[in-house]
Structure 1
C-alpha cells in the first residue's frame, strides 16, 4: 500500500505500518514530522502521523529501520476506496460509446489523481498485507487501465475540490457479496445461516486435514532423515491439503480476507460500491449490504465514513418474472435509508437489455461525484439524486405520484411520453399505464383500472431508456408503492 506517488488522507491521523526484525527501532519522517516505534515480536510496527492539510507538493517519506526506504512524490488529499464486481472493474479503455475511451484517454493528464490496484487474490483467513500494490499517476499512458467509474469520479471531484485524489481499486468481476464479508458477519447474522454452516463445516474439515497433514510431515521428516543418513534419495514430501470449500472467488469471506482486510488501517475519506448483479435472484442482499458497510467501518475504526452505492442497472437477467433486480434495488434503497452516512446513485437510464455491463460509466462516476460533493463536502446547490417517490394519492381513476429531488422540475429526457409506469386496481394486477407530468408530480392511469391501489415505476429487469428525470438530468429512481404490503 505504501509506495512512491501515493496519496495520504488529509485532516485525520495517518497510519503507516510494515514489518521489520523483532525489536528493531523504526522511524517514519514526512512533511516535517517524525514518528518512531519498535517492531513487535512478530516484526509488525505501526506509527501514526498527525493530521495534515491537503498538499499537491510532492514530498518524500523516509522509512528507516534495518533498511531505509525513500518514497517519493507523496501527496496529501482525499482517498476513496472503489470496490465491487465487474462494473466497478470495467476499465476506462473499455468505454466505447461515442468513442469515449479513444477521446478521453489522450486527455487523461491529471497528475493530482493517483490510483493503486489491489491484485485479485484469495485468502482463507484475514491477510496482513497486500503484495505488488503500487500507486500510479493518472496519465494518458496509465489511465486506460483505471476503473472507469473511479476515474470519472476522481476526475470530476478533483476539478471541483482542487486537491489530490487517490483511489484504491479493489474489485473482482462476477462475485457475490458474501465473498466480500468477514467471518464475523456470518457468525452473528441469523439470516445467513446457510453460509455460516458452510464456513463452520469447512473449518472443521480444514482442521482435520491440517492435523493429518502435519502428521504426514512429521513422518516424512523422519523418513527423510533416515534416507539422508543412508545416502539414499529423499522421499517425496507430502502435499498440503486443498481448501475444503475449493479455491475460487465464490467462497464466503475469501475476497474480504485478501483484498479488504489488509487495506486497513490505510486512512480513507470514504468508499464506493458497485456490486449486486451476482446477487440477483437471492433474497439476502437486504441483510448482506448493511452488514458489509457496518463491518468495513468497524475494520477501519474511522467511524461512519461515507459509503456510496451504485444502483445495479436494468438488464434481462433471465429470471421468470423479470422482477428479480427489483429485490436488489429495494435492498439498496432500504440500506441507504437506514444506515447512516450512505447514499445511492441511479442507473435506470443507462441499462442495456442484453449487456450486463452498461457502456456508460462516465455518468455513473459523475453522479457519484455529485453525491460526494453534496453529502460529504457540503457543497451548496448540488443536485445529486433523481426524482424519488414521496407519496401517492388517488384522484378519480388516477394515481397522483409526488416526488422529492425534482430540482427545477420533472421532465421527459427525450420529449416522448413518460414510460415504464404500471398501475393496479383492487385485483392487484398490474398493467402498463399512461403517465403525465403535473408540476412536481406524475398522474398515472390506465383504461380498465377504475380504482387504483398501487403504482410501480421501472419495477422490471427489462427496462430500457426510461425517460423520467429532473431538470438536472438525473433519472427517476424505481419504486413500488406496494412493495412492503
Structure 2
C-alpha cells in the first residue's frame, strides 16, 4: 500500500499530467508562513520531465528537480529561524514568484462550527454572531505576522490534491473573517514569543469526527467499521429517510414557531453521497490537499456531533489523531483540543471521551471550558478564553514557557476515609485548589445502590473531601457529570477542573456503534 503522502501526490500528478506551465498548490502563495527550523516540502506540477528550479531568498543555493512522468515535482527546503519577509521563485518553462513569505509557526485549526465561528458577526449568518468582545478586538487586530488560510468546504469521494483559498494578513479589515478560536490562540502565542504564526483553518459546522478521518482507518478498525456500514445503509434507504425527515422538520418548525424556546432538538437531514456529514469525505476534500505542508501542530474543536456515540469517540478520536500524524509523517505532532462546553444537547460522556484521549494519547492537551458555555446556545460567544487556554498548552509544551500553568485540576485517585468520606486527589494543583462563589458545587456520591446524590465537598490542601450523610458506603464520586453543569472548582491559576467520574459503571452510549 502506498504511504498516504505518496498516494496523495500520485493523485495530484495524474490530475496535472501534460501541463506545460509550472503550477503550485493554493497553499504555496503570497503571504504564506512556512515552518521555521524545519525541512519544509514545496511541490507542484509541470510538464513531464520538465526541469524545475526553486529559489528562496533566505538561502543562496537554489534547489533543482525534474517533474516525474505524471508531471509532479517536490523539493524539501531547509528553513532557518523565524523571520522575513522573503520571496520564493519557481522556474520551469515559466516563472512564478511568491512574495511576503514568513518563516514562523504553522498550526492547522480544524473541527466543526465552534472552530469555524468567526471573530465578527456575519450578515444573516444565524449562528455567526461574532465574539462577545468584537467591538474591542477588531480595531486592535494589527498583527501583520499572523496569517490565515481558510480551506474551501469540499466533499470528495477520493483524496484531493489541491484546494481553493489564499493567505490573509491579519488586520482590522481582515480579522473579522478569521476563526475566532484560531485568532485568539495565535494572538496569545505571537504576543508571548514574537514569532510569526500561520493558521490553516479547515472547518465545517455540524460535522462528526468520522467525516475528518481517512477511510482506511475506519475500514481497518472493527470498532469503527459500523460507521461505514451505517453510512452505506443510509444511502440505500435515502428516499424513505428523506420523506420522514421532511415530515419531522415541518413538525419541528411548527413547534418552534409556537414556542421559540422549545428544547426539542431539530431533526437531522439524512445523508446522501454528497453530504458533508459523510464518513471520510471531508478528510479527502479538506485535509488531504494540505499534505505535506509542514505543520507545527493542530488545534481542534469538535465533538458535539459525536455526543450521541460518545463511548465510540474514545476510539475514533485517538484514531483520527494517529492517522493525521501518520499522514504528515510527524509522529509527535502536538494536537490540542477543546473539551465540549456545557449545552443542553451535550452529555458528560463526550467530555470523558475527550479527557481519556488527553490522558492516553501522547502530545495531546485539552482546554476545559465548563465556565464558558451557554446552555441555550451551542455556539458560546466567549471564544477568547478558548483560544487562550489552548495557547497555554502550546506555550508550556512547545515554546519553553516552563512556568506556565496549562491545565486545571485533573482527577487522579480516590480514597475512602472515616467510614463515609471520600478523599479525591488531583494533578495540576498549581497555586492550590480554590472555589469561586460559595460552596463547592457539582460533586455527587453513590454507594452500592449506584444512585448518585448531591455531595457536600470541601477543599483540604491539594485534595477534596466529599460525602453525603445517607451514603454510608461510598463507592463512586462524579463531578460536573451532566449536560449543563455549573462547577466552581479551579486551581490557583484560574483554570477549571475537568468533569470526571471515579467509577467504571456502564454508560448510556456504551455499545452504540
Q: Which TM-score band applies after superposition, normalised by the shorter structure?
A: 0.7 to 0.9
Aligned-pair CA distance for 1:180? 0.4
Q: 1:27 to 1:200 in 2, by over 3 A?
A: farther
d(CA) in 2 for partners of 1:314, 1:483: 22
Alignment of 1:41 onto 2:63: no
For residues 92-111 of structure 1, what are the structure 2 equivalents within 5 Å? 92-94=119-121, 99-111=132-144
Alignment of 1:300 onto 2:300: no
Q: 1:124 to 1:198 in 2, by over 3 A?
A: farther
Structure 2 gap segments, 5+ residues each: 1-26, 122-127, 237-270, 507-513
d(CA) in 1 for partners of 2:459, 2:77: 55
Aligned counterpart in structure 1 of residue 463 of structure 2, from 441, 444, 447 = 441
Q: 1:316 to 1:297 in 2, by over 3 A?
A: same
Task: State the match for 1:383 in structure 2.
Answer: 405
Alignment of 1:25 onto 2:46: no
Aligned-pair CA distance for 1:5? 0.7
Alignment of 1:134 onto 2:161: no
Alignment of 1:196 onto 2:218: no
Q: 1:479 to 1:199 in 2, by over 3 A?
A: closer
What is the TM-score when the length of structure 1 is the normalising length?
A: 0.86
What is the CA deviation profile of residues 248-287 of structure 1, one whole-angstrom value per residue up to 9, with x for unaligned ones?
1111111000100110100000001110000011131111
Q: 1:98 to 1:111 in 2, by over 3 A?
A: closer
Alignment of 1:173 onto 2:205: yes
- Give RMSD over aligned pairs: 2.1
Aligned counterpart in structure 2 of residue 3 of structure 1, from 26, 29, 37 = 29
d(CA) in 2 for partners of 1:484, 1:332: 18
Task: State the match for 2:242 in structure 1.
Answer: none
d(CA) in 1 for partners of 2:218, 2:390: 30
What is the TM-score when the length of structure 2 is the normalising length?
A: 0.82
Contact 2:131/2:383 (<8 A) preserved: no
Aligned-pair CA distance for 1:203? 11
d(CA) in 2 for partners of 1:105, 1:53: 30
For residues 6-405 of structure 1, what are the structure 2 equivalents within 5 Å? 6-30=32-56, 31-32=58-59, 33-55=61-83, 57-94=84-121, 99-131=132-164, 133-197=165-229, 245-282=272-309, 283-317=311-345, 325-396=347-418, 397-405=420-428
d(CA) in 1 for partners of 2:233, 2:454: 48
d(CA) in 2 for partners of 1:10, 1:112: 13
Task: State the match for 1:478 in structure 2.
Answer: 499
Which has more radius of gyration?
1
d(CA) in 2 for partners of 1:391, 1:289: 25
d(CA) in 1 for partners of 2:470, 2:235: 59
Q: 1:201 to 1:325 in 2, by over 3 A?
A: closer
Contact 2:46/2:72 (<8 A) preserved: yes
d(CA) in 2 for partners of 1:425, 1:168: 49
Task: State the match for 2:484 in structure 1.
Answer: 462
Q: 1:58 to 1:348 in 2, by over 3 A?
A: same
Number of aligned positions between the proteins: 437
